[in-house]
Amino acid sequence: GESVGLHLPTLSVQEGDNSIINCAYSNSASDYFIWYKQESGKGPQFIIDIRSNMDKRQGQRVTVLLNKTVKHLSLQIAATQPGDSAVYFCAETRLTYGNNRLAFGKGNQVVVIP
Amino acid sequence: DTEVTQTPKHLVMGMTNKKSLKCEQHMGHRAMYWYKQKAKKPPELMFVYSYEKLSINESVPSRFSPECPNSSLLNLHLHALQPEDSALYLCASSHVAKNIQYFGAGTRLSVL
């Protein structure tokens, strides 16, 4: 199930099930979105990205969906594995040359139950 | 190779000490970043270097002093830090015209 902890929303998922992580972004001018995974003791790791001219993009076991109408982004992980346990951050930005700012979401913790 | 290397991994310092954090990448990226991350929070941008020049300073206190000696190296010099500066300090790099930033593992800093 999903619960909101003191700092991070947490999604507990059974190994082998699919996970869906949601993110609401704030800037309607943002045209590029990235999902990062951060495991304990590590830096954020790039997972997948999507431009605003797309509404879906698939990678290996991951799919990102973008709904610009409601400014919502989601990351779907198929057949969740113990190694997927991490904090997941969405990030938004504008693809303007020289703009290097990423605005990160608050993060979602995923706990995989073996 | 998408590796950004940060040293040291852990650092404990007193409030009167001077120390430096180091970051290195060999991906040909000409944009490099320093972030501060508190537990259970997203990374907060501190500085951005673009073509070895400081392009963004997010109103960071002067006790943090960045330096970019060449296109592969980024340093963060620390002096007279406060206990509230204890955090994970992340370095990242990217191509200037692309926004995918690649992060190092970070330096866990404790200020006593």
How far apart (Å, rounded) are the C-alpha atoms in residues A37 and A22? 13
Size of interface A-B (CB pairs under 8 A): 64
Chain A interface test: which of B45, B51, B57, B99 (most A C-beta within 10 Å):
B99
CB contact under 8 A, A46 and B97: no
Mean pLDDT of B41-49: 96
Confidence of residue A4 (pLDDT cuts 50, 70, 90): very low
Statement: residue B8 has pLDDT above 60: yes
B56: chain A residues, CB-CB within 8 Å: 100-101
Length of chain B: 112
User: Please, which contacts does A39-42 make with residues 24 or more away whose CB atoms are closer than 8 Å?
Assistant: A39/A85, A39/A86, A40/A86, A41/B105, A42/B105, A42/B106
A106: chain B residues, CB-CB within 8 Å: 41-42
Chain A interface test: which of B1, B5, B89, B101 (most A C-beta within 10 Å):
B101
CB contact under 8 A, A100 and B106: no
pLDDT at B2: 64
Hey, which bits of chain B come out as E strands? 4-7, 10-13, 18-25, 31-37, 44-50, 53-57, 64-70, 73-79, 87-94, 102-103, 107-111
How far apart (Å, rounded) are the C-alpha atoms in residues A109 and A99? 29
Mean pLDDT of B6-17: 95
Of all residues in chain B, the percent with pLDDT exceeding 90 is: 93
Three-class SS of residue B84?
Answer: helix
> CB-based contact (8 Å) between A56 and chain B?
no
pLDDT at A98: 72
CB contact under 8 A, B99 and A95: yes
Q: How far is B112 from chain A (nearest CA, A)?
A: 21
Mean pLDDT of B47-63: 95
**pLDDT tens profile A55-72:** 999 999 999 999 999 999
Q: Give B19's strand partners.
A: B78
Q: How far is B77 from chain A (nearest CA, A)?
A: 20
> What residues have CB less than 8 Å from B90, skipping those under 6 apart?
A43, A44, B6, B33, B34, B35, B36, B37, B43, B103, B104, B106
Side chain identity at residue A76, one-letter code = Q
Q: How far is A91 from chain B (nearest CA, A)?
A: 10
pLDDT at B97: 77
Statement: residue A3 has pLDDT above 90: no
